[in-house]
Structure 1
Amino acid sequence: MKISVIIPVYNAEKFISQAVESALQFDEVHEVILIEDQSPDNALQICLQLAEKYDRVHLYQHADRGNHGAGPSRNLGIEKSTGDFIAFLDADDYFLPNRFDAEKELFEKQEVEGVYGALGVHYYSEKAKEQYYPLFGDHLTTVYKRHSPKDVFPGQIYMLGSFGLFSIDALTIRREPLLRKMDILFRTNLRLHQDTEFLCRLSFYLDLYPGILDQAVAMRGVHENNRITQVGSKKIKPSSTRILLWKEIDSWATDEKKIPENVKRHIKRMHRSFQIANAPTLKKWAMILKYLVTDYKSIASGLYNINFRDSLL
């Protein structure tokens, strides 16, 4: 196996060395690709030092050396990659020693196009744990049972409690079918949830298999300044970012002819429901009345799902 590990780097001077070295522990890792995204801290200098110290570490920036976000940075990393397989890692997260144990066995089968595992949680400070434990807890982010690849896409869309989620940090995919089957990689217009949207489309186009689900293969690093912890603060409202997420999924599903009509209708209901949830009070009730008359299931199904899995998206 020749794995390219892609790490977008932004404001991560405290964590990037740990992330890189956690990937370099594996002989299967052919290269670690750092995409420095105009960090306001000293991350670029540390990335330069890492690239000089380790032959397998390669550093890139966007052509204009500007800040483009995690999605475009991962796209650039995929473009620069030379391995047969691709894995992703956020700059403040890290791999565990069992990260590729399942992959080494599963990828011997040609039909396996991707493998996902479980993600754990590491709090970098007591303050971070006190602040964000209600959101992340000590739980694994994982698909709860072993499902066949054909069930992964509807499982992600319907967000059933018995299915669960997998994370991009715990995903490994074959490079060739990724580029062949997905003409659009990460959406460049989503600053948040671009990984969720990508995983949704990925699970439709590629056959993804479960790897290690009962223990973490990578750790999400939680601290006071990472992007996900800003959601729910006064700066970023969760419902507003979810509207954009479901708008993208709805737009893609509308154009994708192979998606069953009942799944398309559910996606549209979810999009409408988040629009309702984020609307001003008067407009919200007007929208509710409209959909009660024209499409009752948008309320009965969509709003139920928002409440049911609210903390996960």
Structure 2
Amino acid sequence: MKVSVIVPVYNAEKYVAQAVESALQFGEVHEVILVEDKSPDNALQVCKELAAKYNRVKLYQHPDKGNHGAGPTRNLGIEKSTGDFIAFLDADDYYLPNRFDAEKELFKNPKVEGVYGALGVHYYSEKAKEQYYELFQDRLTTVYKKHDPKDVFPGQMNMLGSFGLFSIDTLTIRKEPLMRKVTPLFKKSLRLHQDTEFLFRLSYYLDLYPGILDQAVAVRGVHEDNRITQVDSKKVKPSTTRVLLWKEVNQWAKNESTIPAHIKLHITRMHRSFEIANAPVLKKWGMILKYLVTDYPSIRSGLYNINFRKYLF
């Protein structure tokens, strides 16, 4: 295996060295690609020092030296990669020593196009733990049992009951089918949840297999300045960002002729649920009355959505 590890870097001067060194411990890691996204802190200088220190570390910025967000930043990293496999690592997270144990065996089968595993959690400070322990606790982010690749996409769509989640930090993909089957890669239109949208499409186009699900293979670093942590903890209203996520997923599904009709309908209902939940009060109830008449099942599916219920009631 020759793995290219893609690390988007933004406002992570305190953490990026740990991330890089956690990836360099593996002989399978061919290169660590840092893409610095105009950080307001001293992350660029730290990245330069890491690239000078380690010959497997390569540093890039966007051509205009601007800030483009995690999606385009990961895309640039993939474009610059030279390995046969792609893995991802956020700059404030890190790999554990078992990160590629399952991959080394599973990828011997050419039918395996991707492997995912379990993500642990680490609090960088007592303040971060006090603020976010209720959200993450000490539990794994994982898929709860081993699934056939054909079930991963409907599982992520909440169509198989209690499926669970996997993180992009625990994902390893064969580069050739990724580049051939998944277009676009990460969408530029999403500043948040672009990794979730990417994983939805990826699990539809590629055969993704379970790796280690009962032990962490990578760790999410939780700190006060993590943007997605602020969304998940309600510092940023999550329904607002998820309306945009499900709008993108819904548009993609409508344009993808091979997605079964019942899955397209489910995606439309998920989008509609978040759309209603995020609407102003008067508009919200107008939409509910409209859909009660024209599409009662959408309202019914929305009532099973915890975010929909919370913002509706």
Kindly tell me: are residues 45 and 184 of structure 1, through their superposed partners in 2, closer, same or farther at Cα, counting changes over 3 Å? same
Q: 1:45 is matched with which residue?
A: 45
Aligned pairs (5 A) from 1:159-238: 160-231=160-231, 236-238=236-238
Amino acid corresponding to residue 216 of structure 2 in structure 1: A
Query: Could you list the per-position Cα deviations for residues 81-136 of structure 1 after superposition, in whole angstroms to 9, with x for gaps in the alignment?
Result: 00000000000000000000000000000000000000000000111011011111
**Greater than 4 Å deviation, 4+ residue runs:** 232-235, 307-310
Deviations 1:16-36 (A, max 9, x none): 000000000000000000000
Residues in 2 aligned to 1:54 and 1:233: alpha-carbon distance in whole angstroms: 36
Q: What residue in structure 1 maps to residue 253 of structure 2? A: 253
Residues 246-303 of structure 1 deviation map (CA, whole Å, 9 limit, x = unaligned): 0000000000000000100110001111011011111111101111111111111133
Residue 31 (structure 1) aligns with: 31
Q: Which residue of 2 aligns with 1:120?
A: 120
Query: Which residue of the partner structure matches residue 143 of structure 1?
Result: 143
TM-score of the aligned structures, taking structure 2 as reference length: 0.97
Q: Is it true that 1:82 corresponds to 2:82 in the alignment?
A: yes
Structure 1, unaligned runs of 5 or more: none
**8 Å CA contact retained: 2:12, 2:92:** yes
Deviations 1:172-223 (A, max 9, x none): 0000000000120001110100000000000000000000000000000000
Contact 1:159 1:309 in 2 (8 A): no
Letter in 2 for 1:99: R
Counterpart AA for 2:111: E
Query: Measured at CA, do residues 125 and 245 of structure 1 come closer, stay the same or move farther in structure 2, by a change above 3 Å?
Result: same
Instruction: Supply the AA of the counterpart residue of 1:171.
Output: L
Q: In the alignment, residue 80 of structure 1 is paired with which amino acid? A: K
Q: CA deviation at 1:233?
A: 6.4
Label 1:215 to 1:79 Cα distance change in 2 as closer, same or farther (>3 A). same
Deviates more, 1:128-137 or 1:158-167: 158-167
Which residue does 2:2 correspond to in 1?
2
**Which deviates the most, 118-127 or 299-308?**
299-308
**Structure 2 counterpart of 1:68:** 68
Task: Tell me, yes or no, if the aligned pair for 1:4 and 1:82 is still in contact at 8 Å.
Answer: yes
User: Residue in 2 aligned with 1:275?
Assistant: 275
Counterpart of 2:100 in structure 1 is 100
- The residue type equivalent to 1:292 in the other structure is L
Q: 1:142 Cα shift?
A: 0.7
SS in 2 for 1:178: helix
Q: Distance in 2 between matches of 1:213 and 1:207?
A: 17
AA aligned opposite 2:230: Q
What is the CA–CA distance in structure 1 between the aligned matches of 2:309 and 2:105, rounded to whole Å? 33
Asked if the contact 2:4/2:87 (under 8 Å) is kept, the reply is: yes
2:296 corresponds in structure 1 to 296
Answer with 226-235 or 146-155: which moved more. 226-235
- Aligned amino acid, residue 242 of structure 2: R
1:306 to partner: Cα distance: 3.6
Taking a change above 3 Å as real, the CA distance of residues 89 and 14 of structure 1, as seen in their structure-2 partners, is: same
Bigger shift: residues 223-232 or 137-146: 223-232
Q: What residue number does 1:305 align with?
A: 305
Over the aligned positions, Cα root-mean-square deviation in angstroms equals 1.4
Q: Secondary structure at the match of 1:158?
A: coil
Question: Which amino acid is 1:132 matched to?
Answer: Y
Shift of 1:161: 4.7
How far apart, CA to CA, are the structure 2 residues paired with 1:235 and 1:133?
15
How far apart, CA to CA, are the structure 2 residues paired with 1:164 and 1:18? 28
Query: Structure 1 residue 232: deviation in Å?
Result: 5.3
| 1:197 and 1:249 in contact (8 A); partners too | yes
**Unmatched tracts of structure 2, length 5 or more:** none
User: For residue 185 of structure 2, what is the amino acid of its counterpart?
Assistant: L
- Are the counterparts in 2 of residues 270 and 303 from structure 1 also a CA contact under 8 Å? no
Decide whether aligned partners of structure 1 residues 233 and 95 sit closer, same or farther in structure 2, where only a CA change above 3 A counts: closer
TM-score w.r.t. length of structure 1: 0.97
CA distance in 1, matches of 2:245, 2:62: 24
> What SS does the corresponding residue of 2:305 show, helix, strand or coil?
helix
